[in-house]
Chains A and B, each alone.
Chain A
Amino acid sequence: MSYFSRRRRLSAVALTSALAFGLAACGGDDSDGGGGGGGGGDSDDPIRIGTSLPLTGEFSQPGQAAEQGYQIWKNMVNENGGLLGRDVELVVKDDASNQNTIVADYNALIGQDKVDLLLGTFSSLLNLPASAVAEKAKMVYVEPAGGSPEMFSRGFKFLFFSQQATADRQGLVFADWVANLPEDERPKTAAYPTLDDPFAAPVVEGAREALEAAGVETVYEETYAIDTKNFDTIVSAIKNADPDLVFHGAQFEDGIGMTRAMLKAGLKPEMFFQTNAPSFGDQFSEGVGEENTEGVFFAVSHHPDAETPGNAEFVQAYEEEYGGMPPEDAADAYAAGQVLQAAVEAVGSIEDQQALADWLRENEVETILGPLSWDENGAPTGEFLIGQWQGGEAQIVLPEDAATAEIKRDWTPGGAG
């Protein structure tokens, strides 16, 4: 149980831990007497599921969100009678955003903690080595993030990605919509500042190709390094290029930094698309100022108001435990849990990992992100959602059948109409 007491984020988390602990204990009481008297049958012991997340270091933002998602999933499974009638116990390690640590962690999960199932980690950079450990041990590896196309070119048989599409396809829905705008509304020029990063860069790449094909002229295209702190010069250069659309490939911190630099410099393009950062909910609006979010586009896998099965319950549980709206990464992690759960329940056992993998390749799984299915290599075969900030809230605007709000064209920072 020490895994619960490890979390540190002040009182909110302390509360969560207590809650989680309590829930787990309750779940234990409800089922077959919490494991029976010493060394009883295997099937009474909880199912141990291992993961290592970047709880500290440069990916700590999404890493911590992912942990919340996993915990909620575990709590909800246990409340509903567990997995195959057994409680679920999470073993969460912290890899500190460090690659040799994550390899050590997954080896420890498999060799030392002897977990029954694995869940993935956050970011391609960590999922790439971690998934290889799982593949070598022939264990199913469902990853909530890690959409870099590289992931799925290695012919892995136990790897599955629990989002709708790989990174290179995330901007396409938006690009298609722009391409289909009436002539006078379509932006003439676009700028593409991009973080040098394996998930941001492919999104921009994919979208730029589609937009150029639609006749949108590229007036600025530069990649900046991961530890760039000062965006004033980049913004100044973009301002000189005077684009109608800024399509920014970002992670979180640089997304905030760039947006603020744009506001400072008075760079206010008609349209503004940014990857990742705007999907962080409150953290984004606090970072850039709520009045500046109006009209910002982003690609996203999840929305709290989406009418997917189980979504409302997830959002409610999240709000109860952590307060506020769940960030996308928490939802993705929850969905990863759902995917694993679906496979285990369909196969009816956790012994045969090969059978779990085979089942996932053949079947579609209903998740809070919508239905997910996979190709040969574990890459998902769906399309991403496009979100937009409206009235201080992140809404889904594309595709139309999943939309929670009407799409608007312009970015209007500073509350100006």
Chain B
Amino acid sequence: MTELLQTLVLGLLLGGVYALAASGLTLIFGVMRVINIAHGAFLIVGAFVTYWLWDSFGIDPLLAIVFTTPIVFAIGWLTYKVVVSPVRTAPMASTVLLTFGLALVLEGAMGEIWGNNSTAVRPSYTDESFTIGGLFLPKAQVYGGLIAVVVLTLLWVLLTKTWLGRAIRAAATNPASAELVGIKVAAVAALVFGIGIAAAGAGGAITAVLYPFVPGSHYAWIARLLAIVVLGGLGSLNGAVLGALLFGLAETMTSAYVSPAWATAVPYAIVFAVLLLRPQGILGMRLREDAVPA
């Protein structure tokens, strides 16, 4: 029983971080119909920036999110302006290839800047845990989970309670009409891309404390993140959060009760099954298929 509870708790803590990392991916898809394969790479960029702040200036990696996020936001915004915006109207398959290329470039750039060695961020509390009943709660994971919840809440407030949020949602629902009521869709898109990437960066800052990473780690991450947003329903923030929690549980459960060897198969199996059986995911909406293409 304790083991099950322990597995559940670990799964949920993991899911919280996944939710943050996946939120940007689903947001970007929702607004601009771009599946950003480079999302995992941006997450690792966030991790390396965190490492750099911690290693060079001794800033606590979790507090460093205050700096990491704007830096990564700027990188994301710039990337959008330079690379993504020219092909915003291209077929989705093209943008998949484009962002895949972007991921490779980022991987190379990180290798060039920070090297290809395994990097770890170890503040003093990394190896400590809270113990409650027979359960252990790794401190870093708990802090990370809490920060993820805070950032996600901020994101949610931004999207639902502010003018910007309404503009974003309008641009997502109907770009042409949004333009008519005075929303600059292109500017909103750039902003959303930046915000989405920044969320990945914040997720990267947390994961930097939890796991060692190398530039090539992004493959494993993008597989997970895609599985999560596909599971939750592309474009749905709530779906991504739900998907992330479920995914965290599925991964830890497989690892604990089936075999760690198969745990890495979980994301791919989920993607495969969900896209085939219920392409709209848990919370996504199926678009009306006969609607005349614009």
Contacts and interface: CB of A to CB of B under 8 A. Distances in A.
The short answer to whether A and B are in direct contact, CB under 8 Å, is yes
Interface of A: 8-10, 55-58, 60-61, 64, 193, 196, 222-225, 227-230, 232-234, 236-237, 240, 252-253, 256-257, 260, 263-266, 283, 286-287, 289, 292, 414
A276 to B, nearest CB: 12
A228 B263 contact: yes
A225 B3 contact: no
7 contacts: A64-B117, A225-B263, A227-B220, A228-B264, A264-B126, A287-B118, A289-B122
Interface stretch (B22-30, B67-75, B166-174, B210-218): B210-218
Contacts of A287: 118, 120, 122, 212
Contacts of A225: 260-264
Interface string B165-196: 00000000000000000000000000000000
Given A260-B126, A265-B136, A236 B264 contact: no
Interface of B: 2-3, 6-7, 10-11, 14, 111-112, 115-118, 120, 122, 126-129, 131, 136, 138-141, 210-212, 214, 216-217, 219-220, 251-252, 255-256, 259-264
Contacts of A222: 259-261
Contact of B10 (A60, A196, A228, A236): A236
A4 B127 CA distance: 40
Given A57-B216, A263-B127, A223 B260 contact: yes
Given A61-B117, A256-B212, A287-B120, A265 B129 contact: yes
Nearest to B138: A264
Residue of B6, B217, B259 with highest tally of chain A CB at under 10 A: B6
Nearest to B125: A264
Given A8-B112, A60-B117, A236-B3, A260 B127 contact: yes
Contacts of B10: 232-233, 236
Contact of A230 (B111, B211, B259): B211
Closest 3 CB pairs between A and B? Answer: A224-B260, A60-B116, A263-B127
A310 to B, nearest CB: 28
Given A228-B264, A264-B129, A56 B252 contact: no
Contacts of A61: 117-118
B260 A264 contact: no
A10 B116 CA distance: 12
Contacts of A57: 116, 216
A141 B113 CA distance: 34
B129 A233 contact: no
A57 B112 CA distance: 12
Nearest to B122: A289
A265 B117 CA distance: 26
A292 B255 contact: no
Contact of A264 (B2, B127, B264): B127
B131 A266 contact: yes
A61 B119 CA distance: 11
Contact of B7 (A233, A253, A265, A283): A233
A123 to B, nearest CB: 14
Contact of B127 (A224, A234, A292): A292
A240 B118 contact: no
A228 B260 contact: yes
Residue of A193, A229, A266 with highest tally of chain B CB at under 10 A: A229
B256 A236 contact: yes
Residue of B116, B220, B256 with highest tally of chain A CB at under 10 A: B116
